[in-house]
Structure 1
Amino acid sequence: MLTADTWPIAAALLPLGDADPAVVPAAGLAERWRSDLLEVGDAGFEGVDLTDSWVRYGDLDARGLTALREALTETGLRALSMSAIRRSVIDERDGDAHLAYAHRCIDAAAELGVEVVSFGLHRALTAEQAKQQWFWTVEGHRDDPDDGDAWQRAVQRFRELGTHAGEVGLVVSLEMYEHTYLGSAASSVRLVEEIGLDTVGLNPDIGNLVRLHEPVESWRMLLEATMPYANFWHVKNYARDEDAAAGWFSTTPSYLESGVIDYRSAVKIAVGAGFQGVICTEHYGGDGLSMSAANRDYLRRVLPRRAYEAGESRVRQTPAPVSS
């Protein structure tokens, strides 16, 4: 059993911008990667989530993967997880390309020693969303709950990815996200159960749901329903105010300990359900890396100090502890 001192906590690379070879000149690429990763290490992290807003890992060639592995080694960081975002495998236009990219991400993760890869059904921001200070204040794409063909395509394609992951010793985690087939507790659990592989579980990123400017499910109910299926966990929090009678809602990013989700209780729910996976700290706005570091320290205070008997998870987990 993991404890507060040994639990693998990764920094999301969201705050570090775009360091992809398609954007950064080749002459400065290695130094950019090393500089960014040194910042993460200086913030006190020993592990990172390879968020693909930073680098598109599924598009790296063998030389690129070698250079990234060397940058991680030189900076003393371990790649604990990989998050491939906004590439829905059921996208009507680009779903086939996104599926192929997801397979390449699994292979890249295996090469880099990553043990869990997170995928989702959320799509690229719309032009209107991209204009906003907080993109979630404007509605984006919605998966059609009545489209049985799209649902089955999601089941089949994630099952395909889960099979591939199992063959190379990884697990796949599906990120909960607003207005998709992973946008509610019931739908997310149903999707994982229909996939039916112990290599495919949930990433209960309920921050993606509580930030919506609309009525939302109780955070506690969301976690109680999904944590038995969790094998990876993006954590972030939001201050939330609402007047449901007037139809008024407002949210803004916050520290884990000060938002609407009580993460002290959330951790107890997770551990009680048998969760033993990597936790990835995310944050939008401001100095996201420092916020993530503060949230890591908070998690170390509320995670269990000693091992104890907990429930049994319903999916396979591959925790990757780092030395404290």
Structure 2
Amino acid sequence: MIPFPNHLPDGRPIQDAAPEVWARDLVQVADAGFDAVDPTDSWLRLADLDAARRADFVAICKDLGLAIPAISTARRSVIDPQHGDDHLAYSHRVIDTAAELGVGHVSFGFFGPLTPRQQKALWFWTEEGVRNPDDPAVYRLAVERIRELAAHAEGCGVRIALEMYEDTYLGTARDAVRFVTEVDHPAVRLNIDIGNLIRLHRPVEPWAEMIELCAPHAGYWHVKNYYRIEEPRTGQVMTHPAPLMGGTINWRAAIRRALELGFDSPFLVEHYGGDGLSVCAANRDYIRRILSDRTISNDQGV
């Protein structure tokens, strides 16, 4: 749902809009050929709707043939210095909502709100955002709070995926593996959204190395791609959103390797800029072609 705004033209939030407004966006998703949707909370906070309005949302999805396999959260870090306690309580509500609706996966992250400079930029990732502190006490708090959420999720039959994101405790492949290993809970996996890192205008780990390190720990997976240009003489890096099959990451190779390493969760297709929904639909079809590859089907039982 990234291509859809979370406010109406008159400034009212989608959160407070009538169900008919939600339906207008979801009809476009269904018409683009999707049969599943993640109502990411950057668009609509499903966990903060009352029971009646949540039932309205579910009814719309059912009428459109849209399943809800996962719920993603964004910029609601449980270690936020001001709102961490509130975000922790909200994360528990997300797990409860997932359990109520039979949703198998939720995605959490430690990335903070966009800064004023990021909000003004054409592409927010070209400006520096909020960093997780280099503080052992805060790191321990992050581990403890994810373990708390994991215990809740496990009891509800829900799996947690932790989203990789720059300048957080999941900001590199090695950091992400270290953190999920430290949490050490069967309900917790990594959302190996390596597109969040490939798009940075700075040196990053090679995408294949990230896949090799992180795929053994992978759960619910956000996928997107970027064109990345590096000028070795000056060190300048520039990036731009790309369709999955056209950018820097070879997603055919990445997905094949992840399947070899045991990946068994849903994909969420994302895209920023342009007609993002149509690009997402093309990305969906591209992934389906990869998964229908007879060599993968025969080797992995897909």
TM-score normalised per structure 1: 0.88
Correspondences of 1:98-113 after superposition (within 5 Å): 98-113=87-102
Query: Would the aligned equivalents of 1:176 and 1:184 in 2 still touch at CA under 8 Å?
Result: yes
Question: Aligned pair 1:34/2:20, yes or no?
Answer: no
Aligned equivalent of 1:230: 218
Query: Would the aligned equivalents of 1:82 and 1:109 in 2 still touch at CA under 8 Å?
Result: yes
Distance in 2 separating the partners of 1:198 and 1:244: 42
5+ long unaligned stretches in structure 1: 1-12, 312-320
Match of 1:295 among 273, 283, 291: 283
Q: Deviations over 1:140-164 (max 9, x none)?
A: 11123x3101111111111111111
Shift of 1:34: 1.6
Query: Would the aligned equivalents of 2:6 and 2:15 in 1 still touch at CA under 8 Å?
Result: no
| Percent of aligned pairs with the same amino acid | 48
Match of 1:133 among 79, 103, 122: 122
Question: Aligned pair 1:83/2:72, yes or no?
Answer: yes
Match of 1:213 among 201, 219, 232: 201
Aligned equivalent of 1:5: none
Query: Would the aligned equivalents of 1:19 and 1:33 in 2 still touch at CA under 8 Å?
Result: no
Q: Secondary structure at the match of 1:257?
A: coil
Match of 1:23 among 13, 36, 47: 13
Distance in 1 separating the partners of 2:266 and 2:15: 32
Query: Would the aligned equivalents of 1:273 and 1:310 in 2 still touch at CA under 8 Å?
Result: no
Query: Would the aligned equivalents of 2:150 and 2:187 in 1 still touch at CA under 8 Å?
Result: yes
Q: Deviations over 1:11-42 (max 9, x none)?
A: xx11121169x72496x611112221111010
Distance in 2 separating the partners of 1:310 and 1:23: 44
Greater relative contact order (Cα < 8 A, sep 6+)? 1
Shift of 1:244: 3.5
5+ long unaligned stretches in structure 2: none
Match of 1:68 among 49, 53, 57: 57
Shift of 1:112: 2.0
Q: Deviations over 1:129-188 (max 9, x none)?
A: 0001100000011123x3101111111111111111111110000000011101111111
2:108 maps to a residue whose letter is: F
Runs of 4+ residues over 3 Å off in structure 1? 304-311
Aligned equivalent of 2:108: 119
Shift of 1:65: 1.4
Distance in 2 separating the partners of 1:143 and 1:25: 28
Aligned equivalent of 1:177: 165
Shift of 1:245: 3.6
Aligned equivalent of 1:163: 151
Distance in 1 separating the partners of 2:18 and 2:274: 25
1:184 maps to a residue whose letter is: T
